Amino acid sequence: MKLELQRVWEQVIEGNKAGVEVAVRAARGAALTPEQILNEGLIAAMTEVGNRFERQEFYVPEMLVSARAMQAGLALLKPQLMESGVKAVGKVVLGTVRGDLHDIGKSLVGMMLEGAGFEVIDLGTDVGPEKFGEAVRTHRPQLVGMSALLTTTMQNMKSTLEALEDLGVRSQVKVMVGGAPVTESFAREIGADGFAPDASRAVALAKSLL
C-alpha cells in the first residue's frame, strides 16, 4: 500500500480526526485519486475496525471515534466525489432503517447520488416504516433507498416495504436496498426492486431503475 494511503488508514484506526484530515490532504497532494483514498484508505480502515471489534480488540467507543474520523476524511473528499454540473435526474428518499444507527455508508450513497444529479432527501438513521411512507407521500420521489448494517435491522426493510404497500404508494416508487449484510437474494426475497453492494453501483442501479 502507498505510504499516503497507509497514513489515512492508520489515522482512521486511531480515530484521529485531525490526523485523518492531514493524511487525506497529503494523499490528494500526492495525486492519489479520491476513489483510491476512499476505497483503499477510509473504507479499508473501517473494515479493519470492524474486524478488530469482532476480535474484541476494539469496543463501541473505538468504533465511534474511528467513524467520526472517517467522516471528517469523507467530508474533504465530497467535492471531488461529486461530479459537478449535472441536472437533477430524479428524486430519492434515503434512510437507514429502524433500529439502525449506522450512517456512513448511507451518507456515502447519498453523496454519490447527488453527484450523479439526483435530488436526495436524506431521512437520516433509525427511520421507521411510517416515516418512509410519509416522505414518499410528501416528496413524491421516483426512488426509495434503504440502508441496513445489522442482520437484525435488515428485517425492517421488509416491514418498510409492507408499510409502503399498506399506504398504497409502493407502486409509485422503485425501492433499492444495500448495506453490508444485505444481498441480492435478500433484496429479491423481500420484494425490493434492486440491490447494490457499494455506492458507485448504487448510482448505476438508481439510473437503471428510473
Binding-site ranges for ligand B1M (CB under 6 A): 43, 46-47, 49-50, 53-54, 60, 63-64, 67, 99-106, 108-109, 145-147, 149-151, 176-181, 196, 198-199, 202
How far apart are the C-alpha atoms of 198 and 190, rounded to whole Å?
Answer: 19
| Nearest to ligand B1M of 32, 196 (CB atom) | 196
Q: Please state the φ and ψ torsions of residue 40, each to the nearest 5 degrees.
A: -90, -20
Q: Please state the φ and ψ torsions of residue 106, each to the nearest 5 degrees.
A: -60, -45
Count Cα neighbours of 201 within 13 Å in the Cβ-side half-sphere.
10
| Nearest to ligand B1M of 4, 103 (CB atom) | 103
132 touches 92 (CB < 8 A): no
Q: How far is the CB of 191 from ligand B1M (least distance, A)?
A: 15
| Nearest to ligand B1M of 15, 19 (CB atom) | 15
Q: How far is the CB of 50 from ligand B1M (least distance, A)?
A: 3
Q: How far is the CB of 209 from ligand B1M (least distance, A)?
A: 11
Give residues with Cβ within 8 angstroms of 6, minimum separation 6: none
Of residues 141, 171, 142, 175, the one with CA closest to residue 158: 175
Q: How far is the CB of 90 from ligand B1M (least distance, A)?
A: 13
| Nearest to ligand B1M of 85, 155 (CB atom) | 155
| Nearest to ligand B1M of 79, 181 (CB atom) | 181
Q: How far is the CB of 164 from ligand B1M (least distance, A)?
A: 14
114 torsion bin: left (phi>0), alpha (psi -120 to 50), beta (else): alpha
